[in-house]
Amino acid sequence: MEEYLTFAKNLALNAGNIMLKYFQVGLDSKVKSDNSIVSVADEEINQLVIDEVSKKFPDFSVFGEEGSVHKKSNFVWVCDPLDGTVPFVKGLPISVFSLALVKDGKPIVGVVYDPFTKRLYSATVGGGAYLDDSSIRVSNKKLDRQATIDSEWYPNTKFDFDPACHDLSFKTGVYVLHIGSTINAACMVASGQLEAMIFDGSEEKNVDIAAVKVIVEEAGGRVTDLFGREQRYDQAIKGAVVSNGIVHNQLINLVDI
């Protein structure tokens, strides 16, 4: 497991350097068929992952948001090369890189890197979750005035959580954010800064939650689909509720979809 984790961490740092290279350079972007945005940084990082995996683990598959390699293996490296592309091309420093090793549909290693703050989140199944070298845990807060959640949805997604979140905020006083990076927000749940994150995730090649799954759960939290069910992470997911565990069922019941 340590070999996989070290590989993922080193690759994350290299991906972060590419993000910084392109940040605030008048970066060109284009609209994909699913109405999402992709930049040259997304594509270069995704290719870096494919190249490095093919050298180090030639029998493993890669499932990337901007490109994949399929092998006959039960191991898949799942990559979101740059989560938060729209903020990135607008010059907002909140985007992150994520990489997970998934075995038989379940993430066993997860790494997320924020090159702007130099925060490196990591976890292995049974090994705990870390921010850099420090162990992290989810919060123990309920949905009240002391709590903060994040709701992420986009023009091409199926569900609008805003009405439900607005109602929750009005009734309980919980603060609702729209950070602009699903993975960044989910890592803030893992480190106890947020209590939950809700994400539609109806895009065709959604890979946002694979690394988050192992990081948040090793930090004591819970990650499911929008209906509270488990799902495979070697394929596109169908949305997610990421929480400290305490508020999880309340959020699933709140969002009537």
Q: Is residue 141 part of a domain?
A: no
**What is residue 176's predicted lDDT score, i.e. its pLDDT?**
92
**Same-domain status, 171 and 114:** no
**What is residue 33's predicted lDDT score, i.e. its pLDDT?**
46
Q: Which two tokens stand for residue 116?
A: 């702007």
Domain count, the chain: 2
Residues across the chain: 257
Per-block mean pLDDT, blocks of 10 residues, the chain (257 long): 98 97 71 59 94 98 90 95 89 96 98 98 99 98 95 69 81 91 97 94 73 98 94 88 96 74
**Same-domain status, 121 and 154:** no
* Close Cβ partners of 132 (under 8 Å, ≥ 6 residues apart): 119, 120
Q: Which two tokens stand for residue 166?
A: 């607005």
Q: How many CB atoms lie within 10 A of CB 112?
A: 28
- Report yes or no: 27 and 41 within 8 Å, Cβ to Cβ: yes
Q: Which helix (H) or strand (E) holds 188?
A: helix 182-190
- Report yes or no: 97 and 83 within 8 Å, Cβ to Cβ: yes
Q: Each residue of 73-97: b (16+ CB within 10 Å) or e? A: eebbbbbbbbbbbebbbeebebbbb
Q: Is 85 helix (H, G, I), strand (E, B) or coil?
A: helix
Q: Which two tokens stand for residue 136?
A: 């992290």
**Same-domain status, 106 and 209:** no
Q: Which two tokens stand for residue 36?
A: 């999402």
**What is residue 159's predicted lDDT score, i.e. its pLDDT?**
65
Given 110, 135, 160, which residue is the final one in a domain?
135
- Report yes or no: 104 and 195 within 8 Å, Cβ to Cβ: no
DSSP string, 1-55: -HHHHHHHHHHHHHHHHHHHHHTTS---EEE-TTS-EEEHHHHHHHHHHHHHHHH
Residue 63 to residue 50: CA distance in whole angstroms = 9
**Same-domain status, 191 and 124:** no
**Same-domain status, 121 and 152:** no
**Same-domain status, 106 and 177:** no
Q: Tell me the pLDDT tens digit for each residue of 36-67.
A: 556 888 999 999 999 999 999 999 999 998 88
Q: How many CB atoms lie within 10 A of CB 131?
A: 17
Given 135, 165, 185, which residue is the final one in a domain?
135
Tokens 């893992």 sit at which residue?
190
Rounded to 5 degrees, φ, ψ at 167 are -65, -40
The residue range of the domain holding 180 is: 148-254
CATH code for position 111? 3.30.540.10
- Report yes or no: 244 and 139 within 8 Å, Cβ to Cβ: yes
- Report yes or no: 231 and 216 within 8 Å, Cβ to Cβ: no
**What is residue 28's predicted lDDT score, i.e. its pLDDT?**
63
- Report yes or no: 15 and 64 within 8 Å, Cβ to Cβ: no
Residue 7 to residue 210: CA distance in whole angstroms = 17
CATH code for position 233? 3.40.190.80
Q: Is residue 142 part of a domain?
A: no
Tokens 């509720």 sit at which residue?
241
Q: Which two tokens stand for residue 49?
A: 């992952």
